[in-house]
């Protein structure tokens, strides 16, 4: 054992990466011309791609026009609702039919405009977090209005199913004009309800497609997990509501088939019956309560204005013209469809959907403002990845990388320090490199404040390091260390390759040292074999300090002048007698 100097180095393989990377992502624009090839060296400001601006301009114009048309339709429907409010209980069946037709026509036009909505949305970038939150509120509004609509329609369908079943059981007593009018009235209301459900389905589908596309897009980036979870739950709710709506539509279709069959059966039977007298009308037996079963014939002279089963009243002139006895419709009071309520509920859904359209216009305006007709190199570098050709139009939702430029001759080295090494490294520590026989130098320029797993690192990096880092580090948490690389022949370095790095982490002069080869492990301790009297060795535990490439600092355990065994034979035990062969390090 002697006194001497000790230099301790941390040696490891780091990965060479470019100091700067220019990444060009998909913007929804068509690539008109590609001016470079993969592997080509480019100069700062050199033209790389020419992109089409007209598609974004056309998309924005289409979106604005569609929104204007939708707003006009909404105003027409609001006018229709106002008409219903004004006419109230004085509205007769002919006016109801006219307004119902108007509403159906407006809804059809609105649906036609909405069908192209998702195609337009696919051309636009993701909305901001603020727009996403606003969209969530509007979609929840669509669901709320759907709840109201589904509740009312389901109740009406259940009541109508029960009425049809009762009529079917007593059809022999109800083959008359009154029953036909009742069934046709119910059929008209069912058709109206189906149109409302179709509109609701359209709104739900648009909302579902919007959330699905947004979720797919955000899942590929660094997005708040809580937001992803909320979007997933909302998507499942929309999917469930769509299924319920479609089931109810199928239920109405089945009910319409049953009503059509009954109408056909009654009409066929009535053709074979003598025409009834003008003064009497039979009420369907299935529609008369037990207390009224004896009243089969009513006089028109006793008719008064009665409810049609909605908030709209039917006056005497219309009843007389239709040949309908007031007692018939009074039996169905409260079971019909509230046109005003359903129309209001349906329009509520479209009002929320229009909000999503507003968001799409804002996104289109933002996309156009941020788009560029040309892509030029930000610095001298190399085209590393080129993933497009002329005529391509990568969707913005695909997160496609169009091309990537690595800055030439300006590199860093990245190392993932484990828990044993991280605490020994500090920003500013000097680094010596060796690559293919060439020496380089640098220093630590960044040390991450926290340890992260490899998956966290790749997900949050501003560079595309997935292919560059490869197996550097592991899945266990590590601390990212970035180091500058300087020297001659920098153009000989290749990004992605490993480079040997040595960092001096300690230096001491005039300290007690022993050769590295003298250290042994015994019972989990660092030890040396010391030579005692009569050439008998003893195992002595020691406390180590700095550990150089050839010598190790001894802090405690042995003293200056003690003789230690170098490269001891594994068979030598504590108390063994040995033959002495002097070694001077």
Domains of the chain with CATH codes: 20-51+372-407 (2.40.50.100), 54-366 (no CATH)
Supply angle C-alpha 275, 278, 283, rounded to 5. 80
Supply angle C-alpha 213, 216, 219, rounded to 5. 145
- Reduce the DSSP state of residue 375 to 3 states and report it: strand
pLDDT digits (tens), the chain, 585 positions: 678 888 788 899 999 999 999 999 877 788 999 999 999 999 999 999 999 888 778 878 877 887 777 777 677 767 766 766 665 544 454 555 555 555 556 556 555 555 555 454 444 455 556 667 667 777 887 788 788 888 888 988 998 999 888 888 887 777 888 888 888 888 888 887 887 788 788 778 878 887 887 777 666 555 567 778 888 888 899 999 999 999 999 999 999 999 999 899 888 888 887 655 544 444 444 444 333 333 232 222 222 223 333 333 323 222 223 333 333 333 333 333 455 555 565 556 556 666 666 666 777 777 778 788 999 999 999 999 999 999 887 765 556 788 999 998 889 999 999 988 898 899 999 999 999 999 999 999 999 999 887 555 444 444 444 444 444 445 688 999 999 999 999 989 989 999 999 998 888 899 999 999 999 998 899 999 998 888 899 999 999 998 888 899 999 999 988 889 888 888 888 888 887 766 565
**Sign of CA pseudo-dihedral 290, 296, 302, 305:** positive
How far apart (Å, rounded) are the C-alpha atoms in residues 378 and 499?
Answer: 27
Of 435, 439, 544, nearest to 496 by C-alpha is: 435
> Per DSSP, which regions of 19-70 are E strands?
21-25, 31-34, 41-42, 47-51
Of 43, 37, 48, 40, nearest to 379 by C-alpha is: 43
Of 512, 515, 504, 583, nearest to 550 by C-alpha is: 515
Of 254, 144, 271, nearest to 207 by C-alpha is: 144
- The DSSP call for residue 390 is T
Of 83, 102, 155, nearest to 312 by C-alpha is: 83
- The DSSP call for residue 550 is S
**Six token digits for residue 173:** 């007593």
Q: Are strands 543-547 and 551-556 parallel, antiparallel or unpaired?
A: antiparallel
Burial (CB < 10 A; 0-12, 13-18, 19+), residue 428, is exposed
Bridge partners of 109, per DSSP, are none
Q: How far apart are the first and last CA of the chain?
A: 9
How far apart (Å, rounded) are the C-alpha atoms in residues 37 and 516?
Answer: 54
How far apart (Å, rounded) are the C-alpha atoms in residues 478 and 561?
Answer: 42
Contact criterion met (CB below 8 Å) for 242 and 204: yes
């Amino acid at each position: 054992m002697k006194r001497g100097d000790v230099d301790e180095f941390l040696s490891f393989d780091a990965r060479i990466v470019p100091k700067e990377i220019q990444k060009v992502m998909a913007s929804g624009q068509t690539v008109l011309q590609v001016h470079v090839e993969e592997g080509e060296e480019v100069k700062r400001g050199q033209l790389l791609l020419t992109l089409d601006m007209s598609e974004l301009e056309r998309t924005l114009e289409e979106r604005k026009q569609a929104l204007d048309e939708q707003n006009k339709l909404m105003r027409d429907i609001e006018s229709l609702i106002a008409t219903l409010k004004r006419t109230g209980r004085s509205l007769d069946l002919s006016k109801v039919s006219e307004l119902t037709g108007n509403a159906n026509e407006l809804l059809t036009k609105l649906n036609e405009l909405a069908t192209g909505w998702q195609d337009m949305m696919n051309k636009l970038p993701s909305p901001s977090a603020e727009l996403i939150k606003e969209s969530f509120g509007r979609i929840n509004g669509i669901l709320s209005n759907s709840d109201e609509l589904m509740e009312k329609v389901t109740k009406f369908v259940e009541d109508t199913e029960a009425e049809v079943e009762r009529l079917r059981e007593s059809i022999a007593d109800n083959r008359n004009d009154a029953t036909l009018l009742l069934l046709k009235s119910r059929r008209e209301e069912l058709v109206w309800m189906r149109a409302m459900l179709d509109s609701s389905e359209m709104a739900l589908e648009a909302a579902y497609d919007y959330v699905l596309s947004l979720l797919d897009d955000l899942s590929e980036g660094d997005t708040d997990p809580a937001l992803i979870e909320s979007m997933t739950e909302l998507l499942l709710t929309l999917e469930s509501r769509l299924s319920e709506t479609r089931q109810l539509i199928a239920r109405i279709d089945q009910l319409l088939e049953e009503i059509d069959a009954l109408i056909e059966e009654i009409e066929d039977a009535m053709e074979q019956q003598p025409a009834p007298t003008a003064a009497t009308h039979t009420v369907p037996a299935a529609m008369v309560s037990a207390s009224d079963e004896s009243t089969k014939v009513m006089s028109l002279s006793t008719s008064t204005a009665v409810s049609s089963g909605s908030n709209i009243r039917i006056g005497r002139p219309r009843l007389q013209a239709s040949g309908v006895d007031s007692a018939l419709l009074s039996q169905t009071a409260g079971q019909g469809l509230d046109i005003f309520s359903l129309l209001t509920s349906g329009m509520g859904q479209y009002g929320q959907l229009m909000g999503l359209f507003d968001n799409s216009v804002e996104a289109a305006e933002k996309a156009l403002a941020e788009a560029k007709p040309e892509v030029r190199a930000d610095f001298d570098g190399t085209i590393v990845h080129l993933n497009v050709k002329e005529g391509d139009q990568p969707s913005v939702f695909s997160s496609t990388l169009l091309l990537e430029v690595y800055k030439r001759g300006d590199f860093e080295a990245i190392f993932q320090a484990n828990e044993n090494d991280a605490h020994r490294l500090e920003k500013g520590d000097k680094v010596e490199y060796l690559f293919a026989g060439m020496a380089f130098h640098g220093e630590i320029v960044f040390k991450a404040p926290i340890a992260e797993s490899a998956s966290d690192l790749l997900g949050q990096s501003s560079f595309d390091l997935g292919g560059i880092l490869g197996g550097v580090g592991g899945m266990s948490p590590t601390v990212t260390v970035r180091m500058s690389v300087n020297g001659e022949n920098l153009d000989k370095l290749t990004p992605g390759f490993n480079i040997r790095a040595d960092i001096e982490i300690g230096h001491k002069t005039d300290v007690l040292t022993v050769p590295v080869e003298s250290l042994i492990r015994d019972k989990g301790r660092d030890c040396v074999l010391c030579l005692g009297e009569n050439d008998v060795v003893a195992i002595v535990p020691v406390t180590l300090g700095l550990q150089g490439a050839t010598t190790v600092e001894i802090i405690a355990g042995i003293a200056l002048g003690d003789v230690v065994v170098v490269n001891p034979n594994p068979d030598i035990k504590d108390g063994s007698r040995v033959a002495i062969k002097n070694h001077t390090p």
